[in-house]
Structure 1
Amino acid sequence: MSDTNTLRAEFNPLVRPYMVLYVAWILLLTIVLSPLIVIWVLGLGQWWAGHYYRKLRCELDDRHLNFRKGILFQVEKTIPLDNIQDVTFIEGPLMRQFNLSILRIETAGQSPGQAHNMQLVGIVDAHRVRDEILRRRELLRRQSPVASVAEGDDRQLQALHAIRERLDEIAVLLRDRGNA
């Protein structure tokens, strides 16, 4: 695939203060850890959020969505576009203050009932990225072999009809044998 087909998402720099305040809010809610808020907001949180922001990567090509985040524990995911079931926006009151949103990508799992979610926080122009993900997913699905059967691949359809006729013949022979 050529580099011209790759969409590299940009992240809003306001992700950094949002992350600092989000963790500070969690520390405040735990009450026991609330004394750590000052250390978090004035030092450690600033360092952590800056490194976290610099590590964020998101690229969309014609077949995959690639995402990378993390500092100590780095998470790198590659999701085939044909596995994406839904792309959802999430905005909360704190996020609206920072003009941020979460883009949640829901994927189908390998076994029934097993779905996976990936969240992308702070993508600039997230609506455009969402629309592009869905557009490329639909293009890929139209190009797949399953789509060609649905569009009337005559040879495969004729083979399926021949198999059905043969199964009907076998069912008649078995029924006749059972009546004899």
Structure 2
Amino acid sequence: METQAAFNPLIKPFLVVQIGFVMCCTIVGIPLAIIWFLGVGRWWAQHYFDKLECRLTDRALRYKKGILVQVEKTIPLENIQDVTFVEGPILRYFQLSTLKFETAGHSAGQASDMHLTGIMDAHEFRNRILAARDALKHPPARDAATDPHLAALEAIQVKLSEIADLLRAERSAR
């Protein structure tokens, strides 16, 4: 089972506005922000969007992003403690949301670094992640009628019990 997440194209204008706003917060960044808003930001956002990828397998969640510096994170499902759904007013305006991951064995600063913004149907994808994690932690009970390995082990157990009974009977006959 492998699921590929789809990203909302509205993440592109969100990134342009978000990064442009950060640039405008400094005096040095204001001239850069003008260049950013005149087209460089749209070009960058399109290429960033094209590189976004998120795959959910039965054992891990893999996330890729980046243009110049490419980042790939793989989070084993058994390490995921919780997936938080975040949707603030600016994200809502762009019809986006963020999924944040709390993982086992990491400090709070590292766990907050693991987030996905812009996944379409984020609630459903969150539920798939949690269901895959729970299926991995609690595998379904095996049934001898449908599992040939379990049926063979049960047959071996029956034969071993018969051998043990024969040995006990032989000892008691002596």
Which bin holds the TM-score, normalised by the shorter protein? Answer: 0.7 to 0.9
Structure 1 stretches of at least 4 aligned residues deviating more than 2 Å after TM superposition:
112-117
Residues 1:63 and 2:59 aligned together: yes
Give the equivalent residue in structure 1 for 2:126: 130
Aligned partner of 1:12 among 8, 13, 35: 8
Q: Is the 8 A contact 1:109 1:115 kept in 2?
A: no
Greater shift after overlay, 24-33 or 67-76? Answer: 24-33
Give the equivalent residue in structure 2 for 1:49: 45
Give the Cα separation in 2 of the matches to 1:62 and 1:120.
19
CA deviation after TM superposition for structure 1 residue 114, in Å: 7.7
> Counterpart amino acid of 1:116?
A
Residues 1:36 and 2:40 aligned together: no
Q: What TM-score comes out, normalization by structure 1 length? A: 0.72
State the Cα deviation string for residues 24-59 of structure 1 (Å, max 9, x = none).
111122233122222101221111101100000000
Q: Is the 8 A contact 1:55 1:71 kept in 2?
A: yes
Give the Cα separation in 2 of the matches to 1:116 and 1:100.
21
CA 1:113 to 1:67, structure 2 compared with 1: closer, same or farther past 3 Å? closer
Residues 1:75 and 2:60 aligned together: no
> Counterpart amino acid of 1:54?
D
SS in 1 for 2:68: coil
CA deviation after TM superposition for structure 1 residue 115, in Å: 4.9
Residues 1:139 and 2:135 aligned together: yes
Larger Rg: 2
Q: CA RMSD in A?
A: 1.8
Give the Cα separation in 2 of the matches to 1:137 and 1:114.
22
> Counterpart amino acid of 2:70?
Q
SS in 1 for 2:75: strand
CA 1:142 to 1:57, structure 2 compared with 1: closer, same or farther past 3 Å? same
May I ask how many residue pairs the two structures share in their alignment? 139
Q: Percent identity?
A: 52
Give the Cα separation in 1 of the matches to 2:50 and 2:110.
29
Q: What TM-score comes out, normalization by structure 2 length? A: 0.74
Residues 1:22 and 2:2 aligned together: no
SS in 1 for 2:138: helix
Give the equivalent residue in structure 2 for 1:172: none
> Counterpart amino acid of 2:26?
T
Give the equivalent residue in structure 1 for 2:168: none
SS in 1 for 2:85: strand
